[in-house]
């Protein structure tokens, strides 16, 4: 439990989003897997700035500058990055849902490695 909370706090503290409207790749609650769970409101969605992105939204600085390219090449990796961004976003509901989903996925991965 403690490491889970430290992970969330660390992401939220050291990797904060930007905030201007731009074209990019959806992230956080606007991308899978949270997009299926959390209904989007009328406000602009968070996006990683990317010139070839297909959506407009609020700029959300990726953990690494080439994350949008890597994510578009690997859907599973994209989901992990989107979950990490939901932990960084600062909204309680998105953070809690992302934390639960991230922990579930990491636990499943750990169990697969044991088998």
Range of the domain at 22: 2-114
Q: Is this structure's pTM higher than 0.85?
A: no
| pLDDT < 50: residue spans in the chain | 1, 15
Q: What b/e readout covers 93-110, taking b as 16+ CB neighbours within 10 angstroms?
A: ebbebbbebbeeeeeeee
* Residue-level pLDDT at 89: 83
Q: How far apart are CA 64 and CA 4, in angstroms?
A: 21
User: How many structural domains compose the chain?
Assistant: 1
């Amino acid at each position: 439990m403690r490491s889970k909370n430290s992970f969330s706090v660390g992401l939220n503290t050291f990797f904060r989003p930007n905030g201007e409207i731009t074209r990019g790749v959806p992230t956080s609650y606007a991308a899978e897997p949270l997009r299926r769970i959390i209904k989007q409101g009328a406000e602009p969605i968070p996006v990683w700035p990317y010139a070839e992105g297909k959506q407009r939204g609020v700029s959300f600085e990726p953990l690494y500058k080439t994350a949008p390219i890597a994510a578009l090449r690997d859907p599973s990796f994209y989901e992990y990055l989107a979950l990490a961004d939901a932990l960084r976003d600062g909204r309680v509901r998105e953070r809690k849902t992302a934390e639960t989903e991230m922990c579930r996925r990491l636990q499943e991965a750990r169990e697969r490695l044991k088998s």
